[in-house]
Amino acid sequence: MSPSDYFFDPNLATAATLPSKMYFDPAWLDLEKQNVFSKTWQLIGRMTQVERPGDFFTVALADEPLLIIRGRDGTLRAMSNVCRHRAGPIATGEGNRPVLQCGYHGWTYSTEGRLLKTPEFSGVQNFDSASVCLPQFQIDSWAGLLFVNLDSSAPPLQHFFGSLVADIAHLDLTRRRFAARKIWELDCNWKVYVDNYLEGYHIPIVHPSLYRELDYANYRTETRRYDSIQHSPIRASAERLRRADDDDEARFYWIFPNLMLNVYADNFSTNVILPLGPERTVTIFDWYFEDPADSHLDSTMAFSDEIQIEDMGICEAVQRGLRSRTYDSGRFSVARENGVHHFHGLLAEFLNLPQLPTT
């Protein structure tokens, strides 16, 4: 099977996985950046990073340099971090500024994105500096997290998140504050990592310590429009996940295409998966606790690291296997891999890949 022959099959029992070429061909990653990462809501930071007028930080989304800033007028904006002159950077890193000055030729902008000064630019004809402004993109927040969508016609964040917002409302995630971050890079396509996250099928083999904590027989995945939930019952005998007698389930949320939200009784973590290349990926873990000095933080991160190292090992091995001349595509476990199938269906939708008729 080649990608040009691939049709997404909505019937899980007869469906095949994505063709292996989609996991290492640079042309597919380019298409994903254009049709997936540029058209979905992407987690890019925290509200606490831009609380005061002039607060800013910089980030890149689908190769688009962005400047996230709280203007002197109090409005939060996601602006292009590309000078209108010769494409220099308006800002780097993070901090607080009364105005913004390009690091190439010193063009200066207001915190609202208006061009203020153009040094040594007299004599230029047919140039109206008053009309020059940094382009802006959609920005929104949820539970203290900041999201950007590069597509001006994309539906609002709340529409994309659907019932997820109501599901988690009772947990009041805003009570939990940023406590720690850890960044991992690994040699696999970003979809390999997402595929792996979306099923518990590998837990008994790859994660023996996690398997002892969870009631695997009752582990199940619920899929919805743009997200899925892995319901993970915690054993009564669990020693590393259970914090209280009523702490009987962990929930692992996934929001298309690349955001994981791992929710426990006393903390949650976000994990953003970003492609660094066709076969190189970065995963960014952020942990949130009501008290960042919580004594459980170190043990929580240590257990997460243990699982992450196991996942990295198997994902890198899978990436090597996908390049085998003997392998192109596989089949799904109906009982355990409906989440992966759901992800592939959304990819097919956003990439405009053909779909077999529903039977």
> What are the pLDDT digits (tens) for 214-234?
999 999 999 999 999 999 999
Q: What is the mean pLDDT of residues 119-125?
A: 96
Mean pLDDT of the 91-109 span: 98
H-run or E-run covering 19: none
Alpha-carbon distances of 163 from 25, 59, 229, 342, rounded to whole Å: 35, 28, 11, 17
The per-residue pLDDT for 246 is 65
Which residues, listed in sequence order, are joined to residue 228 by a DSSP beta bridge?
223, 254
Amino acid at 266: D
Q: pLDDT tens-digit profile of 270-309?
A: 999 999 999 999 999 999 998 888 878 899 999 999 999 9
Q: Tens digits of per-residue pLDDT, 32-45?
A: 999 999 999 999 99
pLDDT at residue 270, rounded to an integer: 97
The predicted pLDDT at position 3 comes to: 53
pLDDT digits (tens, 9 = 90+) for 139-197: 999 999 999 999 999 999 999 998 888 888 877 888 899 999 999 999 999 999 999 99
Rounded Cα distance, 352 and 58, in Å: 31
What are the strands, taking DSSP E only, across the chain? 42-46, 55-61, 64-70, 76-80, 94-96, 100-101, 108-109, 115-117, 136-142, 145-149, 177-186, 220-223, 227-233, 249-255, 259-263, 267-277, 280-289
**pLDDT score of 167:** 84
The DSSP code for 16 is: B
pLDDT exceeds cutoff 80 at 4: no
Burial 337-348 (b: 16+ CB within 10 A, else e): bbbbbbbbbbbb
Q: Confidence class of residue 106 from pLDDT cuts 50, 70 and 90?
A: very high
| Per-residue confidence (pLDDT) for residue 295, from 0 to 100 | 78
At residue 359, the pLDDT reads 66
Sheet (strand 177-186) strand order:
177-186, 280-289, 267-277, 259-263, 249-255, 227-233, 220-223
